[in-house]
Amino acid sequence: MKRFVFVALAALALPASVSAGTHITVFAAASLTNVFLRVDGGERYSFAGSDQLALQIREGAPADVYAAASPRYTQLLYRDGLVRKPVVFATNRLIILVPRSNPAKIRSVYDLRRQGVKVVIGDTTVPVGIYTRQILDTLGITADVAKNVVSQETDVKGIVSKIALGEADAGFVYRTDARPVAADTRTVALPAWAQPPIRYELAVVQASKHPAAAAGFVRKVLSKRGRLLLAKAGFGLPKRP
């Protein structure tokens, strides 16, 4: 069943010339929720797993811009002629998120192998789940951690929510997702040498009815202000395209 979650915010803080313009619909990875609303709060957004959004675009959903947490989905859509040439606009890193009280006393990723520890990860189809499995494979502890997985979420916000509510002992999320829940959680670093490359790409959807406005949104993300907001949110910045 298709799920469209549109977040429409009044653009009270925007200049009249901007807020009075054409509004577009941006499909974006859930981990981009907070920063995209700061980049441009006047557009319509659908935040979800990158794979879900890519499928909706394939099925004809009315999107103007697509932003994914992995090049995998943007490049496949580009190959099939469904989006214009994608561009990398941000990078990220994985961390372990634990409840503020840290009842399982997680100090490192290797503690997730202990019996009885409840771990939440992303589903196999979403970028955060794919990246998690890559880092566990690199560390050589996939099987040990897998036996403690109690939930596989369809987007990173689902993982964050479960940890913040204390429904699990640990979860793999992007470092940018920890900031909004800092009062309820703690973070545990993962070895830098095992980190997979995490690159975000965005592109104008070919079927967009507002291609000029869609291209304008992409320019906002790539602008000096957009990059500053991404950096403040904890994202890494690639070289300017």
- What whole-number distance in Å separates Cα of residue 27 and Cα of residue 32? 10
Residue 154 forms part of a structural domain = yes
The pTM of this model reads 0.86
Place of tokens 């395209």: 241
Q: Residues in the chain, how many?
A: 241
Residue 74 forms part of a structural domain = yes
- What whole-number distance in Å separates Cα of residue 94 and Cα of residue 192? 9
- What whole-number distance in Å separates Cα of residue 177 and Cα of residue 46? 17
Count of domains in the chain?
2
Residue 1 forms part of a structural domain = no
Are residue 86 and residue 99 in the same domain, yes or no?
no
pLDDT of residue 22: 80
Q: What tokens were used for 178?
A: 């920890």
pLDDT of residue 241: 58
Convert the pLDDT of each residue in 124-181 to its tens digit: 999 999 999 999 999 999 999 999 999 999 999 999 999 999 999 999 999 999 989 9
Report CA-CA distances (Å) from 7 to 49, 72, 173, 185, 202. 15, 25, 22, 25, 19
- What whole-number distance in Å separates Cα of residue 101 and Cα of residue 240? 41
Q: What CATH number corresponds to the domain at position 116?
A: 3.40.190.10
Are residue 182 and residue 146 in the same domain, yes or no?
yes
Compute φ and ψ for 175, nearest 5 degrees: -60, -30
Compute φ and ψ for 134, nearest 5 degrees: -65, -45
Domain span at 205: 6-91+199-232
Q: Do residues 23 and 14 make contact, with C-beta atoms less than 8 angstroms apart?
A: no
Residue 237 forms part of a structural domain = no
**Strand partners of residue 7:** 45
Residue 164 forms part of a structural domain = yes
**Strand partners of residue 217:** none
Bridge-based pairing state of the strands 65-68 and 149-153? unpaired
What is the enclosing helix (H) or strand (E) of 52? helix 50-58
Convert the pLDDT of each residue in 60-119 to its tens digit: 999 999 999 999 999 999 999 999 999 999 999 999 999 999 999 999 999 999 999 999
Residue 36, pLDDT > 80, answer yes
Bridge-based pairing state of the strands 198-204 and 6-8? unpaired
Residue 129 forms part of a structural domain = yes
Q: Do residues 95 and 174 make contact, with C-beta atoms less than 8 angstroms apart?
A: yes
